[in-house]
Chains A and B, each alone.
Chain A
Amino acid sequence: MDTLSNYIFPNEFHITWTVMIVLYPYITGMVAGAFIVSSFYHVFNMEKLKTVARFALVSSLAFLLFATVPLLNHLGRPERAFYIMMTPNFSSAMSGFGFIYSFYMIIVVLEIWLSYRVEIIDKYNKSNGIVKFIYLVVLLGNANDNENTRRFDKRLVIALASFGIPVACILHGYVGFLFGSIKANPWWSTPLMFIIFIFSAIVSGLAVLIFLYQFVHWMRKRSIDQDCLDLMAKWLWGFMIIAVTLELMEVLSISYENTERWAILRQLIDGKLKLSYVYLQIGLFSIVPFIMLTITSLSKMKNTKVKNLTIWIASVMLLLQVLFMRWNVVIGGQLVSKSMRGFTEYFPGLWDKEGLIVSFLIILVPFVLLYLFDKVFPFFGEKSH
């Protein structure tokens, strides 16, 4: 039987989760991804990544600090936000959020503190008065620096980084689970969801590091560590292949199973999500960067300028790919009526409380924070070098 009327339940005219909930997994994705990149160096001894290891770690923290902002902006009663830790209902996938988030924050802050300890001690020794006191407080009163303390700190960093990998996967995998476990929603409900989220997190983490690393070096007219960039680009290529394949496999398996839900999801993909999913997420922002990264990874391009520019454009496109993926999951899933007979509409307003300007500011703030951090502790050595 065919349905002609586009029927949705009367409570479904406004979607519940707005673009704020698109930003949250996008930002945590970059958190988890950037952290995993820094762990490649610390745990798996990939020396080539040393250049970006600490930068990745601090980026992770900068995004982590603002991951909760869109959530708080979205909550109906933000003043009750801490109830999630005070009275958690452990049958809810969401209840673990506060604990996982805090735990991860502790790991990242500790790791940054330990890996910057030598620099902080150096600043402490060179400064005077109140600034010296502030550095002493940051050092927790211990300004000892010798071979033994450095070795001990390094060991702790390795331990924290190894421990942090599963926690980063949990932090982001659980965001995927949060969607994937909603049986009421045909577009979300799949056990693949949390795996897709982990891989797309790594893609966005690698992409944002490549994007920033090259951008900063171009702005400062400094030479790029080609080995490091090539390795990151190769990793990005590999992880984007896995992420996009998983995304496509999910839709393929739903369509092949051809159950009741495919009847409505087919209309969703062919209708409301045609532009943002088919043309943009899969077409432009997956296939094109895949071709670009295949060329830069496999062929011996002698012109590094062209090569690096190609890598940079591919990383920007993949950042957009992940953003569209989040949009298509979070918003796309809510466009489908639970009556299975129609679709609702959504587009964020420009100046709304949960609109586009606010979204843009939330995305921008971590980058400003990174800029300020770089003023105090330059990521890639002093400018004069």
Chain B
Amino acid sequence: MEKIERRQFIKLGLFSTAGILVGSFFAFAKTEKDIEVNSYEDLLKFDWGYIVDTTRCIGCGSCVRACKVENEVPEGYFRTWVERFEITKDETVYVDSPKGAIEGFNRDNAQTAEIVKAFFVPKLCNHCYDAPCIQVCPVGASYRSPDKVVLVDKEHCVGCGYCVQACPYGVRYINEEKGVADKCTLCYHRIQKGLAPACVNSCPRNARIYGNLKDPNSEINKVLHQRRYGLLKPDLGTNPKCFYIGLDKEVK
């Protein structure tokens, strides 16, 4: 009698342990399903591109402010900024971007001369197809995501600054607090959820357009098929993915 009881006790113990194991497996499996992660195959369907319509930008600086808040960009550094170009009658070019235009612009640049042409140019990471920053990263911390966004692995970056040197557009900086390289991510955390990047979202003039270059019906492709556009420093062979509508030759 006593023997049977012991056997039953062991049986009960085994079954309950197995039950907890199986149950917890399902429980953990379920929480994994709850996290929204796009599969690698899903990501391959995207190739994120960006359009800056310089003819529409009014230099309000909303994008710079939105980016700063959304991405906690450290003081004195910028993931996006706006440049003002003023060309006078005697063909002198005045360029400025006070504090990256985070507070917009004042009428204080070319006051004495007669301005014949003026425009604003927002700048951000070009997410190049042949990004020199990825090429030069000694540890592979700068990489291209499957949906073709140039990102930095902050857990792996050693903070050597070689990528900052290699970027021809000056969009990278060393985050002094974290000791690693930092740059525009195209608000990767937002575009994964189907939300627009903060700068696109905040632009009151629709001067910034983002979208999937692999989708022939996307807005970005429609605009690129209709408008004439330029690239920044195309001679360097970086193949940038940021397309500038109405690009002036003075913009570098």
Contact = CB atoms under 8 A, between A and B. Distances in A.
B178 A76 contact: yes
Contact of A183 (B76, B139, B141, B168): B168
Contacts of A77: 157-159, 179-180
Chain B's interface size range is 35 or more
Interface string B77-100: 110010100010001111111011
Interface string B131-166: 010111111110000000000000011111110111
A88 B91 contact: no
A338 B156 contact: no
Contacts, number: 144
Contacts of B99: 10
Contact of B157 (A4, A14, A76): A76
Which of B94, B97, B138, B141 gathers most chain A CB within 10 Å? B138
Contact of A17 (B78, B81, B165, B176): B165
Interface string A68-87: 00000011111011011001
B167 interface: yes
Contacts of A81: 158
Interface string B57-93: 0000000000000000000111001010001000111
Which of B94, B96, B162, B178 gathers most chain A CB within 10 Å? B162
Interface string A1-24: 111110101111110110000000
B87 to A, nearest CB: 8
A92 B138 contact: yes
B162 A92 contact: yes
Interface stretch (A93-101, A154-162, A205-213, A222-230): A93-101
B78 A11 contact: yes
Interface of A: 1-5, 7, 9-14, 16-17, 74-78, 80-81, 83-84, 87-89, 91-95, 97, 178, 182-185, 334, 337-341
A336 B236 CA distance: 17
Contacts of B96: 5, 7
B139 A89 contact: yes
A133 to B, nearest CB: 40
Which of A17, A88, A183, A341 gathers most chain B CB within 10 Å? A183
B201 interface: no
Contacts of A74: 160-161
A338 B77 contact: no
A5 B91 contact: no
A95 B140 CA distance: 9
Interface string B162-191: 101111111111111011110000000000
Contacts of A92: 135-138, 162
Contacts of B78: 10-11
A334 B173 CA distance: 13
A91 B138 CA distance: 8
Contacts of A80: 139, 156-159
B161 A339 contact: no
B34 interface: no
A129 B109 CA distance: 80
A184 B167 CA distance: 6
B90 to A, nearest CB: 8
Nearest to A341: B95
